Amino acid sequence: MRLTGHHLIAGDWVGGAATFASQPAHGDAHSFAIGTPAHVDAAAAAADAAFETYGWSRPADRARFLRTIGEEIEARGGAITEIGTQETGLPAARLEGERARTVGQLRLFADHIEAGDHLDRRHDPALPDRTPLPRPDLRLIQRPIGPVAVFGASNFPLAFSTAGGDTAAALAAGCPVVVKGHSSHPGTGEIVADAIAAAVRATGMPPGVFSQIQGGDRAVGTRLVQHPLIRAVGFTGSLAGGRAMFDLCARRPEPIPFFGELGSVNPMFLLPAAMAARADAIAQGWAASLTMGAGQFCTNPGIAIVVDGADADRFAAAAQAALGRIDAQTMLTDGIADAYRAGTARIAAGTGVREIIGTACETRRAAPYLFTVSGDAWLADEALQEEVFGPLGVIVRVRDGDQMRALARAIQGQLTCTVHMDDADTDAARRLVPLIERKAGRLLVNGFPTGVEVCDAMVHGGPYPASTNFGATSVGTLSIRRFLRPVCYQNMPVGLLPETV
């Protein structure tokens, strides 16, 4: 389809005085309008107006809307893949898989809200004859909070961007959405926005239920998170950027929740019996997970913690061999590639850090790096805990199980923690799991964390800095609850209650 290069605001394609050019990995660049605070004001006002009806819409109608968005995205599948590969450098198969995940998520959420599983209905019937005091009729239900701002992610142009998890969850909850599109894939975002606009028209939803603003400087993002009509923010991105917006949300005259997924190194704890039995296989699996998508996954397992000795030597050698066979891959943006180079330099400069694999990375091409460090040195240098977004791994060699548990106590909040173990490791695992459970939203045994399943039981979040709200998830049906609030109706006539009560 032909790109307009415009913003979508309440069903209308709106241009602007200034433009920016996309920076594709290959193919032609395109021109896009730069967002302004005035665009934010128009989109937020339209979203607030839409909320008056959309917030009271039936779950069945919202479910039909979500499914129609999925159908419209599928109808544009070829165009999405074509421009998505150009803008991001991702292979077509990856984008097609991500598109299927995005559509599947919309359909899963549609089924979930139709069943009413998100509402947490509770009813305490009136007890007029109770003594010494009667009880009124009390009904609790989860209700939508209002317009939600969503920031597109650089590493997932579909699943965490225009119609991705935050947008799908907010729309499922009954909240209009204003998306700040990511400048690394504006064409992909425009085509998906067009699919949502088509679904709005097909299902008769109010036009202001969805808007997308392209480009723009920090003033646009600041205006969006501080706009008085915006009631919550969803964000996936860097720790520095996310923390800045979290602080903006907190400093508003009326603070609002900021649901940010920020950073995680996703440590793996390799226990002795498992290492003795299959150190080579674990290393090969780690190398594959570490380099998947050029390491640009938020669940990339960047740290492997092993007890020093012959099995650790065997693990390191096998990881080195496996990573040495991985070709350089194109990173999503020039900025991400620059940050990867800076991150590798920071790790390499750490006291006691030894480089096992190091390859010069130029332009947007990234090759794996592998480092090793002692447990003592790792514990002494907090900078080694900071995420490096890309295919970089650090092997931390600890003295014994006691020091492994010391590392578990020292790690920051994570999206995931993994334990590789055999039956003979059960006692050691029992001492380790209570420590890492405090640090992560998802615990794995004998697996690798890349590949997040979109389902009812998934948790994609964790203590800070993995996310800014440890009680929430950005993946799975529980993510809808982020954009709901409990309301109690006391002695409310049935005709005034939401239809879902």
Residues belonging to the active site: 261, 298
- Maximum CA extent, the chain: 80
Cα torsion 492, 493, 499, 500: sign: positive
Rounded Cα distance between 393 and 388, Å, is 9
3-state secondary structure of 355: strand
Residues 6+ apart with CB under 8 A from 76: 1, 191, 192, 194, 195
Rounded Cα distance between 5 and 469, Å, is 35
Q: How far is CA 343 from CA 144, 366, 367, in A?
A: 40, 12, 13
Report which DSSP code applies to 364: T
From start to end of 84-230, where are the E strands? 122-124, 138-144, 148-151, 177-180, 210-213
Rounded Cα distance between 442 and 261, Å, is 14
Please, which residues bridge with residue 418 across strands? 268, 444
Q: What size, in residues, is the chain?
A: 501
Provide φ and ψ at 195, rounded to 5°: -65, -40
Q: How far is CA 306 from CA 319, 380, 397, 495, in A?
A: 13, 17, 5, 63
CB-CB contact of 300 with 266 (8 Å): yes
For strands 138-144 and 484-490, give the pairing: antiparallel
